[in-house]
Structure 1
Amino acid sequence: MKISKIIHYCWFGKGEMSSLEKRCMASWKKHCPDFQIKLWNEENFDVNYCEFTREAYRLGKYAFVSDVARLFALYQEGGIYLDTDILLLKPIPLHFFKQKLFIGAENKSSLNAAAFGAEKGHQLIYNLLSFYSSQLYGSESPLITESLSNIIVDIDFPILGNQKKEWGLILNPDVFYPLPYKNKALSFNKFITVETVGVHLWNASWKSEDSKNKLFKWLKYQLSKIYLPNSPQWYKEKFR
Structure 2
Amino acid sequence: MKQFFLICFFSFAVQAHGNFFWNHIDFDVAMNTSKYQLEVWVTKEVFGIAGTVMLDFYRQLYNTNSPINLCGISGELRIPKVIHQIWIGGPVPDVFTHYIQTWKDMHPDWEYKLWTDENIHTVNLYNQKFYDETDSPGVKSDLLKWELVYQFGGVYVDMDFECLRSLDIFHHTYDFYTGLQPLDTQFLQLGAALFGAIPGHPILKHCIETIKDDWHFHGAPTKSGPVHFTKSFYKTAGKGGFIDIALPALYFYPLGCREKELTYQKWVDTGAFAVHHWAKSWMPPKYRLKKFRNLGNDILTESWND
**Deviation of residue 29 (structure 1)?**
1.0
1:13 aligns with 2:89: yes
Distance 1:74 1:105, change over 3 A: same
Q: Deviations over 1:90-142 (max 9, x none)?
A: 21142443211001111352210211100011011011111224554764452
How many corresponding residue pairs? Answer: 202
Alpha-carbon separation, structure 2, partners of 1:137 and 1:14:
28
Residue matched to 1:225:
none
SS in 1 for 2:270: coil
**Deviation of residue 164 (structure 1)?**
7.2
SS in 1 for 2:195: strand
Alpha-carbon separation, structure 1, partners of 2:165 and 2:234:
31
Alpha-carbon separation, structure 1, partners of 2:163 and 2:263:
12
Counterpart selection for 1:131 from 182, 186, 210: 210
Larger mean CA deviation between 167-176 and 45-54 belongs to: 45-54
Q: Deviations over 1:121-172 (max 9, x none)?
A: 10110111112245547644525111022222269xxxxxxx9775411111
Distance 1:5 1:12, change over 3 A: same
The normalised TM-score by structure 1 is 0.74
Residue matched to 2:201:
122
The normalised TM-score by structure 2 is 0.59
Counterpart selection for 1:97 from 172, 180, 184: 172
Alpha-carbon separation, structure 2, partners of 1:100 and 1:174:
21
SS in 2 for 1:65: helix
**Contact 1:91/1:197 (8 A) holds in 2:** yes
Residue matched to 1:175:
251
> Which of the pair has more CA radius of gyration?
1
Residue matched to 1:25:
100
The 5 Å alignment of 1:24-43 reads 24-43=99-118
List structure 1 runs of 4+ shifted beyond 6 angstroms. Answer: none
SS in 2 for 1:115: strand
1:86 aligns with 2:161: yes
Residue matched to 1:72:
147
Alpha-carbon separation, structure 2, partners of 1:5 and 1:190:
27
Gaps of 5+ in 2: 1-76, 291-306
Alpha-carbon separation, structure 2, partners of 1:88 and 1:203:
15
Matching residue's letter, 2:226: T
**Deviation of residue 41 (structure 1)?**
2.3
Q: Deviations over 1:43-71 (max 9, x none)?
A: 33249843321122xx2x21211101111
Gaps of 5+ in 1: 156-162, 217-240
The 5 Å alignment of 1:140-179 reads 140-141=219-220, 142=222, 143-153=224-234, 167=242, 168-179=244-255
1:202 aligns with 2:278: yes
SS in 2 for 1:153: helix
Q: Deviations over 1:9-37 (max 9, x none)?
A: 10111234132x11100101111111100
Larger mean CA deviation between 75-84 and 33-42 belongs to: 33-42
**Contact 1:6/1:35 (8 A) holds in 2:** yes
What is the percent sequence identity of the aligned residues? 24
Counterpart selection for 1:54 from 123, 132, 149: 132
More helix by share: 2
**Contact 1:50/1:133 (8 A) holds in 2:** no
Alpha-carbon separation, structure 1, partners of 2:266 and 2:228:
27
Distance 1:174 1:96, change over 3 A: farther
**Deviation of residue 187 (structure 1)?**
2.7
Q: Deviations over 1:220-239 (max 9, x none)?
A: xxxxxxxxxxxxxxxxxxxx
